[in-house]
Amino acid sequence: MGYSALWYTDALPEDGVIETVERDEIRANLAEDNFLNAGRSGQVGVLRGEAMTILPELDGPYDLISVDTDWSEFPLLFNEILCLVRVGGIITSSNLFPRTFDVNLGGISEVA
């Protein structure tokens, strides 16, 4: 785990940091091990717990927020994310268009 975050570290400025949120203890441990083994533990950290609990406690602003939860959680998290991203910042998300693969699934059906 920590695969996506490690790719983002390639684009970090020297003083940049990445914070990841993970509720699963085993995955959080794995991510920390991977950050350490990649020599990036000084730049990337794991905040352990539920995103809905952790996000309101963060200060921000963040240049980029990448959401990789189950798509059904995205609408719940969106307001918190909007409060944390800087003006002109970037929000990315996976799994927003599950209907592309199965019309019976929810998610967003079209781009505005």
By CB under 6 A, what part of segment 40-59 binds ligand SAM? 50-51
Cβ contact 10:18 at 8 Å: no
**Of the two residues 94 and 100, which places its CB atom closer to ligand SAM in the complex?**
94
Q: Is there binding between residue 65 and ligand SAM (CB under 6 A)?
A: no
Show the site string, 4-43: x = touches ligand SAM by CB under 6 A, - = not: x----------------xxxx--x----------------
Helix (H, G, I), strand (E, B) or coil at 92: strand
| Piece in contact with ligand SAM (CB under 6 A), picked from 11-19, 69-77, 78-86, 101-109 | 69-77
Strand ranges (DSSP E) for the chain?
18-22, 44-48, 62-67, 85-93
- Rounded to the nearest whole angstrom, what is the least distance from the CB of residue 95 to ligand SAM in the complex? 8
63: nearest Cα among 104, 29, 92 = 92
